[in-house]
Amino acid sequence: MTTDSKHMDHYSYLERFLKLFADVQPREGITCLILIGNIFLVLTAYYLIKPVREGWLAISDIQGFSRLEVKAYSAFAQSVLLVGIMPLYALLAAKVSRRKLILSVGGSFAAILVLFWLAQPGLVLGAIPFSGIAFYLFVGIFSVTLVAQFWAFCSDLYGPERGKRLFPIVAVGAAAGAVAGSWFGEKLVRLETLDAFDLILIAIVPLAAALAMAMWSDRRGTYGSPSEWTTTRWDEPAAPSNEGPYSLIFRHRYLTVTALVILTFSWVVASGDNILFGVVQDSLQVDLADLASDPAQFSAALKEATTVFYGELFFWVNLLTLVIQAFFVSRIMQFGGMRLLLLTTPIVSLAAYATMAFAPILGLIKLVKVAENASNYSVNNTARHMLWLPTTKEMLYQAKPTVDTVFVRLGDGLAALTILIGTRVVTLSNKDFVIVNLCLVLVWIGLTVYLYREHRRWSESAAKTAPLPIPR
């Protein structure tokens, strides 16, 4: 055995540790750890501002609309915005390198966070109309865009073979970041020296650190000694051509089915979130009824109580997500492959909404939503990102961000339409909304079975006719 081959077969202490969670090979440990840290920081930043979004929205009244309707319709507005934004994102991806793309998008989001902090009620300009709704729209776009961009970059960096092995452990960083962000957010918002809106500024710190780590991993490549394959990607545009995201999605059946599955699951999860939000608001208004004579005090208390409730909810969701991601996702993949990975979350959702239909109690609804969201953020998210491993660079940087943003938010929009019909056209109870969700879950399962078949066909075809280059 040569000296070089001995070095290739040597596992560092870091790689031996990481191998407890996934099939990490020699010399892959440092870059893998950097990517774990990268997505950890992105999710930390997001979960610092997510409870602020809920609290700000809770005090954003619109004449003639309930708070549940305001939340649902704001989600629909996100999809409308993203339909126009994503072709511009695709155009930028076709002109600049992946490094410049990441810096441009992340830096723009950081600047917008500063502007929203300045726009908070009572700081500089008083109460700006619809500012809470605008922030809700921004946070939704912030989360899906940065996360989709990160996983496109990971797919580009690793290629299909390494991605299948390493995505489950990289995703542990996302789960851990969500736990850290929600935990810190919950603790910080309780401090008398900080206002909930200060979390917006604090979130810029992990966001900036995440951008720095992205640059580091881009320079290192998979092994830390960049090959010609890696250095070529430094100067090439992220997406070498600009066919356009919607053209790519609707020209390839595999991408079309992927988009439909993501739209359906988003519809299900958003509808469940809307049901929970409505129950929470009804419950809190009863608890705070003694403050109703003082609108200002009632509004402040409602905002604070909503922020605290969701901070606690997100903490438990993310803690369970971390456990599932670290110890179960890789093993689910090894045991049942992509089929089991894709079907786990819709089956969990089916059980959750069946339970909610027969026992619509706040505590139980909270419990089953924790289970559903944890499965979504761990098992389902890993499966969604692995679907893109055998695709081209154009698909990664143009179609994937569009599917993970526009179609996710279109699902939210359909959930809003469900609320509109269920409150304005016909009168539906919470139980009726749950039954609607049960029907949607069955559609989700059917589409997922078809998607798995398409994934297998696409992967086999790509491997035979046009295999992607593997970084060395």
Closest CA to 313 of 282, 272, 353: 272
Q: Are 372 and 269 in contact (CB under 8 A)?
A: yes
Distance CA 30, CA 14 (A): 8
Residue 174 has pLDDT above 80, yes or no: yes
Residue 471 has pLDDT above 50, yes or no: no
Closest CA to 470 of 48, 159, 40: 159
Please give the torsion angle defined by the CA atoms of residues 222, 224, 229 and 235, in that order, rounded to the nearest 10 degrees: 110
The residue that leads in pLDDT, 189 or 411, is 411
Q: How many CB atoms lie within 10 A of CB 363?
A: 7
Report the pLDDT value the prediction gives residue 470, as an integer from 0 to 100.
Answer: 42
Report the pLDDT value the prediction gives residue 99, as an integer from 0 to 100.
Answer: 92
Distance CA 472, CA 463 (A): 18
Residue 466 has pLDDT above 60, yes or no: no
- Summarised one tens digit per residue, pLDDT across range 249-282 is 999 999 999 999 999 999 998 888 877 777 777 7
Distance CA 261, CA 387 (A): 12
Closest CA to 388 of 400, 376, 405: 400
pTM: 0.79
Q: Which residues of 38-63 are buried (b: 16+ CB within 10 A; e: fewer)?
A: bbbbbbbbbbbbbbbbbbbbbbbeee
**Arch. (CATH architecture) of 22-465:** Up-down Bundle (1.20)
Lowest mean pLDDT of 116-130, 208-222, 348-362, 411-425, name the range: 116-130
Distance CA 57, CA 51 (A): 10
* Six token digits for residue 343: 């079907």
Q: Are 221 and 157 in contact (CB under 8 A)?
A: yes
Q: For residue 282, what are the CA distances in angstroms to 22, 58, 273, 302, 347?
A: 44, 12, 14, 11, 29
Q: How many CB atoms lie within 10 A of CB 451?
A: 22
Q: How many CB atoms lie within 10 A of CB 337?
A: 13
Report the pLDDT value the prediction gives residue 275, as an integer from 0 to 100.
Answer: 78
- Summarised one tens digit per residue, pLDDT across range 31-79 is 999 999 999 999 999 988 887 877 777 666 565 666 666 666 776 777 7
Q: Report the chain's mean pLDDT, rounded to a whole number.
A: 84
Distance CA 382, CA 385 (A): 5
- Classify the phi-psi angles of 227: left when phi > 0, otherwise alpha if psi is within -120 to 50, otherwise beta: beta
Closest CA to 444 of 289, 231, 260: 260
* Six token digits for residue 22: 């996934």
Closest CA to 99 of 242, 233, 241: 233
